[in-house]
A and B are shown apart, each in its own frame.
Chain A
Amino acid sequence: MNLTLYVWRQKNAQDKGRMEKYDAKNITSHMSFLEMLDVVNEDLIHQNIEPIAFDHDCREGICGTCSLMINGIPHGPQRATTVCQLHMRYFKDGDTIYIEPWRSRAFPIVRDLIVDRSAFDRIMQAGGFISVNTGGVPDANSIPISKKDADTAMDAAACIGCGACVAACPNASAMLFIAAKVSHFASLPQGQIERKERVKKMIAHMDKEGFGNCTNYYECEAACPKEISVKFIAKMNREYFKASLTGR
């Protein structure tokens, strides 16, 4: 199939950037979206045009590196799928596809479609961890955890930190990401020691990074490739109030 692409091109953080039109020729429906971009880039190189820079790593849908806004939806039209797992069979011959980077003040553009998501890392550094002493590897299953809590923690831990929630949110809010991390740790025995401090520090740091505020649109949940539920935002709010009211 042949497609028309409109792709955001931006040399560096300082450049103003613009949408450029490219033709994607001889694309097969078996290709992943990123493979399609690889083909387009080959073509651009032959034409002596700088290839399109985009983030990717595992291409298995588990690392959270790929990050493209496709036709106005993070990770494209297929629900619960990262861009690398999105296949060209979801498009048809003659389609026009708009490809843009995540847009958020907290995610500055590095180049073309690549954004700097280290704001997420800094939020994790502010409180998204548990303190464990170094030493021998602890015995597996030595700490009993109820099935219910383990399931909740696993649902929250499915977050791969790709930032689609921020990209989808009309307010560029990162609350689903923080909510997933806070809920993950708060559901497990190992997370109890820093439970109150964690939620306060992570939220304080989230605000500092310049993310927007959640106004309950729930676009994040719909865009999330791991289908993290907005119930975790409610849980994060609960955790925050408990921590604020009862102190450290």
Chain B
Amino acid sequence: MNTSELDQITSIPTPVNVSVASVSKKVLMAVTGAILLSFISVHLLGNLQIFIGQGQLNNYAETLQSLKGLKWTVRIVTIIAVIIHIWTGVLLWFENKKARPISYYKHDTIQASLSSRTMIYTGLLIFFFVIYHLLQFTLIVTNPQYANLRDALGRHDVYSMVILGFSNYFISGAYIIAVLMLAFHISHAISSFFQTLGWNNDKVLPKLKLLANIVAILFFIGYASIPVSVLLHIVKLPVGGY
């Protein structure tokens, strides 16, 4: 290497590279991931109200719909987080592929977890499922007949809509697979979040991995319990039809 090249390297203008540095991309990934995790936590608590009953869930849904400012703030923040999360994920994936143009003839995995190695795939599957999920329950495009369901108080009958939707084995099956993918994704994401932000050391790491697995399992049980309960008739349509 000649002197001018060396000069060029040693005089890298440090602040300029901050926004695109590898470490910064990881931070964007981690922070937007945390936002999305908060979203699905609140969403789960909302959904689980189906076990309390029709009145509770429909009331909760109506309250959310009436808080327009909150609703749209959450929606916009979440959409921006989704875009950044997917953009950094795909960008990192392409950059990382480029970093090893010729792959090994034989490559063994020593300790990397299955969830860590499948983040891009579980992530994309979750994304495609979320689009379907929004079409089904938010925009009510896939089953337009549910848009006009009303309960006795004249509220949109979210409760019956969910039960009718999940009574279909294919819809329930797809949902359970999607939340399984989500649990996988989360099990790597949580400990990764702390590692990326530097809140980690060798004493904390095993505990974080355990915590991440526990949280992932809780999310899976929480979300999957709804279609399973519908299929097992634990959660039923209101007496006298909807």
Set of chain A residues within 8 Å of B10, measured between Cβ atoms:
125-127, 201
Assembly CA distance A240 to B98 (angstroms): 24
Closest 3 interchain pairs by CB?
A238-B198, A212-B99, A72-B108
Most buried by B among A206, A218, A230: A218
Query: Is the Cβ of B99 less than 8 Å from the Cβ of A233?
Result: no
Q: Are A72 and B106 interface neighbours, CB within 8 A?
A: yes
Given contacts A125-B6, A230-B205, contact A105 B14 (CB under 8 A): no
Q: Check if B119 is an interface residue, CB within 8 A of chain A.
A: yes
Residues of A within 8 Å of B2, CB to CB, are none
A229, B204: Cα distance in complex, Å: 13
A209 to B199, CA, bound (A): 27
- Chain B residues, CB < 8 A from A234: 194-195, 198-201
A197 on the interface (CB 8 Å rule)? Answer: yes
- CB–CB A103/B116 < 8 A: no
B191 at the interface (CB under 8 A from A): yes
What residues on A are CB-neighbors of B62 within 8 Å?
A: none
Which of A172, A201, A205, A237 counts the most chain B CB atoms within 10 A?
A237
Cβ of B103 < 8 Å from any Cβ of A? Answer: yes
Would you give the 0/1 interface string for A92-107, flagging 1 where the beta carbon is closer than 8 Å to chain B?
A: 0000001010011110
Q: B50-71 interface mask toward A, CB cutoff 8 Å, 1 = contact, 0 = none?
A: 0000000000000000000000
Set B6, B17, B109, B199: member contacting A207, Cβ < 8 A: B17
Contact call B23/A203, Cβ cutoff below 8 A: yes
A172, A205, A216, A244: the one within 8 Å of B188 (CB) = A216
Tell me which residues across on chain A come within 8 A of B194, comparing CB atoms: 234
Which residues from B are CB-within-8-Å of A248? 14
A136 CB to nearest B CB, Å: 27
Is A89 an interface position by the 8 A CB rule? no
Taking CB as reference atom, which chain B residue is nearest A19? B105
A69 to B9, CA, bound (A): 30
Give, as a whole number of angstroms, the nearest-CB distance from B169 to chain A. 36
Are A106 and B99 neighbours in the complex by a CB distance under 8 Å? yes
B50 to chain A, nearest CB (A): 35
B111 to A205, Cβ gap below 8 A?
no
Task: List the B side residues contacting A125 at CB < 8 Å.
Answer: 6, 9-10
**Which single member of B12, B23, B112 contacts A201 (CB below 8 Å)?**
B12
* Set of chain B residues within 8 Å of A210, measured between Cβ atoms: 98-99
- B154 in contact (CB, < 8 A): no
Residues in B1-39 with C-beta less than 8 Å from chain A: 1, 6, 9-10, 12, 14-15, 17-18, 20-27
Q: Is the CB of A216 within 8 A of B116?
A: yes
CB–CB A6/B105 < 8 A: yes
Total contacting residues, chain B, CB less than 8 A: 51
In Å, the complex CA distance between A223 and B104 comes to: 15
The answer to whether A11 has its CB under 8 Å from any CB of chain B is no
B18 — which chain A residues lie within 8 A by C-beta?
200, 244
Whether A172 touches B100, Cβ cut-off 8 Å, given contacts A212-B95, A234-B195, is yes
Does A171 contact B99, Cβ atoms closer than 8 Å?
A: yes
Cα(A170)–Cα(B196), bound, Å: 17
Q: Nearest chain A CB to B170's CB is how many angstroms away?
A: 33
Give the complex CA separation of A233 and B99 in angstroms: 19
With A212-B96, A234-B195, A234-B198 already in contact, the answer to whether A122 and B1 are too (CB < 8 A) is yes
Contact between A105 and B105 (Cβ–Cβ < 8 Å)?
A: no
Separation in Å of the B80 CB from the closest CB of chain A?
22
- The answer to whether A205 and B195 touch across the interface, beta carbons within 8 angstroms, is no
Q: Is the CB of A105 within 8 A of B100?
A: yes
* B16 shortest CB reach to chain A, Å: 9
Per-position binary interface string of chain A over residues 180-208, scored 1 when its CB falls under 8 Å from any chain B CB and 0 otherwise? 00000000000000000100110111111
Residues in chain B near residue A127, CB distance under 8 A: 10
Cα distance A201–B105 when bound, in Å? 34
Asked if B92 is an interface residue, CB under 8 A from chain A, the answer is yes
Residue of A nearest to B188 (CB): A216
- Decide yes or no whether A219 CB sits under 8 A from chain B: yes
A-B contacts, 26 listed (Cβ < 8 Å): A6-B105, A19-B105, A73-B108, A73-B110, A100-B105, A100-B106, A104-B99, A105-B99, A170-B100, A172-B100, A173-B96, A197-B14, A203-B23, A204-B17, A208-B12, A210-B99, A213-B25, A215-B192, A216-B191, A216-B192, A219-B109, A219-B111, A219-B112, A230-B195, A238-B199, A244-B15
